[in-house]
Amino acid sequence: MSLVIKILGILFACIGLLELLKPLLINKLLNFFKEGKRIYLVAVLRFVLAVVFLLAARECRVPWLVIVFGVLLLISGALVLIIGPDRLRPMMNWFQKQSTVFVRLMGLVAIAMGAILLYAA
């Protein structure tokens, strides 16, 4: 299972790199999830990832760190359901209005998260 965490770490870093190189692509992704009830797909994805992280944690080099990621994903998935699409859309609109520098900084955060996961796995 630690291999799965390593793969997810690489995936997080690649997404961050994509954000860094093509910041406007994130707007297209956000537009996709703003349509209808698609935001619930994000909640399901976060719940699935949370379960994977929590199950894989005991086999990792730094289990507590993987558990923290799992718990954060669990909380964020629940928040998506609690807040709901009508209140999430304005937050997504705010993010889309930010400068490309801000989006690139978020890409660096994603790269750092991926590197941390690679280390913890």
- Using one digit for the tens of pLDDT, what is the confidence trace for 79-100? 999 999 999 999 999 999 999 9
The whole-angstrom separation of Cα 78 and Cα 101 is 29
Q: Which of the two residues, 107 and 1, has the higher pLDDT score?
A: 107
pTM of this prediction? 0.88
CA distance linking residue 36 with residue 44, whole number of Å: 15
Q: How far apart are CA 104 and CA 90, in angstroms?
A: 21
Domain count, the chain: 1
Token pair 């929590």: residue: 54
Tokens coding 29: 């992704």
Give the integer Cα–Cα distance in Å for 62 and 1: 13
pLDDT at position 1? 82
Percent of the chain at pLDDT exceeding 90 = 87
Query: What is the distance between the alpha carbons of residues 103 and 21, in angstroms, rounded to a whole number?
Result: 10
Tell me the residue range of the domain where 23 lies.
Answer: 2-120
